């Protein structure tokens, strides 16, 4: 293979508590260029809808970050960020590469979208930025009270930028409100049995008073805008595998609170079924993020999809893999759970359809055979333990990438 004509796509996920997907991709790219200085590098950081999704997708598309003043899970003012995706689909970027965004600062004509042909902009949001568990101190974690109201405000802020599609990652929530707070922020009104409007920012406890729904004030934009929810679990809204029993305790619920939340979610499901004709209680994935997916499906016809597939589609990974000679991916730990829809397997699946070999460079790897990859080069091996790997992650990832590419080229 002529290395000066070699095209390499770099698509890792983040290495949790260590490197972002953007930083990991930059380190891998440096390793490739150490071996093939004239290679064509296309940086496409990936994610699965969880933490780091906004940064990865903004970097992969040459988009931008925006911020909005919203509310946290306890109703306190907070400034949250979201991303507006660009239309850059990579390009020939040989030469010296720096960390975390140097690719996006390069002068590159391929980054400039034709105004007449550019797709309508999409926005990407992590619900945890407005309703994440990390925003609530341990002594204040109470899913009877916490709300997704700020997430709804963040969606409206994204629509204010002109976004024509919303991609929502729903991991790490502090809530079990079935998305009631979120849709209240969009203009939905919930009523008690006397026809009185329930307070804005409902938490899981407030659903006990729900008797009716008023949709007259809903923002019409949310009914016209596709909302794609990154959801990689299949838990229903209610029942022993539902939002209250499975996720309530993680968010601070006692056994008594779990029982109350379960009853309230069932009430919510019954009112939605009666008033909207939508069955959300048994919907696979409806229990994710305390039922946020259920509320969005019921009120704005959102679609629950696998996170890595949403991200790959949005950053046009399949198109970017076309004609590539090699793809590098990676994540913090490669194990049996990786097969169940994690980023590295999603990347490998798309690459296989294009006939592109994939090298996986994880932080750690179990002893299983991962046949979808050309080879696996974990950072933690031999005399490199976890502590050292995390302390020198960027440098070691660069070295592993260089080693892997040298071996790959020797075989081809």
The model's confidence at residue 91, banded by pLDDT at 50, 70 and 90, is low
**377 shares a domain with 251:** no
**265 shares a domain with 176:** yes
Q: Is residue 86 part of a domain?
A: no
Indicate the number of domains in the chain.
Answer: 2
**251 shares a domain with 171:** yes
Q: Is residue 391 part of a domain?
A: yes
Cα gap 85→101, rounded to integer Å: 15
Q: Is residue 181 part of a domain?
A: yes
**95 shares a domain with 68:** no
Q: Is residue 284 part of a domain?
A: yes
**What is the mean pLDDT of the segment spanning 82-87?**
94
List strands edge to edge, sheet with 326-329: 40-43, 7-10, 326-329, 357-360, 375-376
Tens digits of residue pLDDT in 227-280? 999 998 899 999 999 999 999 999 999 999 999 999 999 999 999 999 999 999
**What is the mean pLDDT of the segment spanning 289-315?**
96
Low-confidence winner among 136-140, 190-194, 367-371 (lowest mean pLDDT): 367-371
Q: Is residue 242 part of a domain?
A: yes
The model's confidence at residue 4, banded by pLDDT at 50, 70 and 90, is low
Q: Which candidate, 148, 174, 310, places its Cα nearest to that of 229? A: 310
Q: Is residue 85 part of a domain?
A: no
**What is the mean pLDDT of the segment spanning 186-215?**
98
Cα gap 325→304, rounded to integer Å: 33
Interacting residues of 329 by C-beta distance below 8 A, sequence separation 6+: 10, 11, 12, 13, 46, 343, 344, 347, 348, 358, 359, 360, 361
**72 shares a domain with 39:** no
Range of the domain at 363: 3-46+91-116+316-411
- Please determine, for residue 11, whether its predicted confidence score (pLDDT) is greater than 80: yes
Q: Is residue 359 part of a domain?
A: yes
pTM of the model: 0.90
**291 shares a domain with 151:** yes
Give the residue from 285, 307, 329 where a domain finishes: 307
Give the residue from 240, 273, 307 where a domain finishes: 307
Low-confidence winner among 81-90, 97-106, 246-255, 306-315 (lowest mean pLDDT): 97-106
**195 shares a domain with 97:** no
**125 shares a domain with 95:** no
**What is the mean pLDDT of the segment spanning 137-164?**
97
**61 shares a domain with 22:** no
**142 shares a domain with 109:** no
Q: Give the residue carrying structure tokens 């974990």.
A: 378
Give the residue from 277, 307, 337 where a domain finishes: 307
CATH at residue 274:
3.90.1510.10
Q: Is residue 217 part of a domain?
A: yes
**328 shares a domain with 267:** no
Which pLDDT score, from 0 to 100, does residue 102 have?
37
Q: Compute the mean pLDDT over every residue in the chain, rounded to the nearest whole number.
A: 91
**109 shares a domain with 29:** yes
Cα gap 186→92, rounded to integer Å: 42
The model's confidence at residue 117, banded by pLDDT at 50, 70 and 90, is very low
**Alpha carbon separation from 303 to 103, 285, 296, 297, 318 (Å, rounded):** 32, 10, 8, 7, 21
Report the share of the chain in percent with pLDDT over 90: 84
Cα gap 48→329, rounded to integer Å: 13
- Please determine, for residue 95, whether its predicted confidence score (pLDDT) is greater than 60: no
CATH at residue 99:
3.40.50.10350
Tens digits of residue pLDDT in 32-59? 999 999 999 999 999 998 889 999 999 9
Count Cα neighbours of 31 within 13 Å in the Cβ-side half-sphere: 29
């Amino acid at each position: 293979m002529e290395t000066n004509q070699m095209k390499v796509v770099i698509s890792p996920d983040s290495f949790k508590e260590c490197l972002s997907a953007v930083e990991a991709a930059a380190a891998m790219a440096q390793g490739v260029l150490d071996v093939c200085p004239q290679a064509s590098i296309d940086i496409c950081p990936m994610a699965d809808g969880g933490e780091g999704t906004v940064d990865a997708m903004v970097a992969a598309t040459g988009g931008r970050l925006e911020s909005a003043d919203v509310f946290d899970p306890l109703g306190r003012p907070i400034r949250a960020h979201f991303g507006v995706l660009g239309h850059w689909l990579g390009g020939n970027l040989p030469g010296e590469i720096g960390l975390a965004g140097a690719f996006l600062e390069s002068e590159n004509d391929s980054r400039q979208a034709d105004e007449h042909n550019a797709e309508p902009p999409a926005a990407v949001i992590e619900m945890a930025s407005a309703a994440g568990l990390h925003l609530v101190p341990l002594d204040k974690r109470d899913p009877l009270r916490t709300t997704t109201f700020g997430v709804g405000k963040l969606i409206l802020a994204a629509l204010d930028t002109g976004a024509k599609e919303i991609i929502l990652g729903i991991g790490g929530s502090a809530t079990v409100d079935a998305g009631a707070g979120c849709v209240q922020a969009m203009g939905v009104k919930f009523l008690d049995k006397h026809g009185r409007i329930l307070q804005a920012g409902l938490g899981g406890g407030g659903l006990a008073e729900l008797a009716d729904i008023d949709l007259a004030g809903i923002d019409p934009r949310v009914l016209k805008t596709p909302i794609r929810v990154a959801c990689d679990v299949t838990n229903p809204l209610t029942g022993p595998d539902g939002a209250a029993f499975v996720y309530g305790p993680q968010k601070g619920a006692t056994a008594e609170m779990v029982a109350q939340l379960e009853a309230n979610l069932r009430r919510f499901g019954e009112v939605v079924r009666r008033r909207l004709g939508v069955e959300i209680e048994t919907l696979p994935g409806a229990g994710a993020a305390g039922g946020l997916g259920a509320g969005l499906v019921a009120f704005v016809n959102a679609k629950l999809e696998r996170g890595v597939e949403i991200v790959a589609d949005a950053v046009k990974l399949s198109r970017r893999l076309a004609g590539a000679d090699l793809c590098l991916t990676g994540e913090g730990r490669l194990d049996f759970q990786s097969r169940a829809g994690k980023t590295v397997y999603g990347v490998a699946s798309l690459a296989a359809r294009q006939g592109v070999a994939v090298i996986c460079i994880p932080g750690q790897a179990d002893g299983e055979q991962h046949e979808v990859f050309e080879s696996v080069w974990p950072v933690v091996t031999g005399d490199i333990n976890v502590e050292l790997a995390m302390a020198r992650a960027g440098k070691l990832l660069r070295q592993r990438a260089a080693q892997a590419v040298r071996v790959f080229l020797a075989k081809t």
